[in-house]
Amino acid sequence: MTARPAPHADPTRARLLDAAADTLREDGITGLSARHVAARAGVNQALIFYHFDTVAQLVDAACRAAVEASIRDYRDRFAAADTFADLLAVGRELHERERAAGNVAMMAQLMAGGQSNEQLAATARYCLARWNDELDDAVTRMLARSALAGLIDPAGLTELISAGFLGLELYEGVDPSSARHAMSTLEHLGDLIEIVDELPAVARRTLQTKMRRRRRPPRSAR
């Protein structure tokens, strides 16, 4: 079932937000005309410009509302995750739900449109950043008590996990078998982190020393 934004005080505005999100999910960027969205909402298209000024602003508001609704539903699950395996399990469940809801298709359309439209790109960046904000809290918490603390940048790992899941979501649309294989490998990496934490103290210190010696600064810092 598609996650819906919290009820809005203005029912016309709410119908327009739902119609814009559903149009993007089902018809893609090409369906995002004022006439098409207004017809789907069952209102006069002039009301789009009354409430949002432009179709692009309506799309931005609709996507922001959709991502906030999904985050509300999963915030407690992220907070309750105690290990990377737990976090990846939540990610798998979230992936299945977002795909069924059409939100994966929505994100794919935003990213495709964002290649040539800066307004759509800005909307896509906002949606990605909101998920990263939620995920970063859990990743930072888990790394802080791990043998890898101080060796892996939490923000970078968050972005890697987020990009990995987004890539898998898009990959699944054309090659489901390979996407499942990649997801399984990502989960094995979560298991590896836990195994490292279970190593004897001497082995953990040796690993930490070797990793510090091999660490390379980010490209931007070179």
Whole-number Å distance between alpha carbons of 179 and 187: 12
- What confidence tens digit (pLDDT) does each residue in 136-189 have? 988 898 888 877 777 788 888 888 877 777 777 677 777 778 777 777 777 777
State the amino acid at position 130 in one-letter form: R
Largest CA distance in the chain: 71
Model confidence at 2: pLDDT above 50: no
pLDDT at 4: 47
3-class DSSP state of 45 = coil
Tell me which of 129 and 163 has the higher pLDDT: 129
- Per-residue confidence (pLDDT) for residue 37, from 0 to 100: 95
Q: What is the pLDDT of residues 67-98, one digit of tens each?
A: 999 999 889 998 888 888 888 888 888 888 88
Pick from 206, 134, 204: nearest CA to 165 = 134
Domain ranges (residues) in the chain: 56-211
Gap between the Cα atoms of 182 and 164, Å rounded: 9
Q: What does the block give as tokens for 189? A: 């990496």
Which stretches of the chain are DSSP H helices?
11-27, 34-41, 46-52, 55-80, 84-101, 103-114, 118-144, 154-172, 176-197, 201-214
Give the pLDDT confidence score for residue 1 in this predicted structure: 36
For the structural domain made of 56-211, what CATH number should be given? 1.10.357
Q: What does the pLDDT look like over 186-221, one tens digit per residue?
A: 777 777 777 777 777 777 777 677 777 776 655 555
Residue in the block written with tokens 């098409």: 36
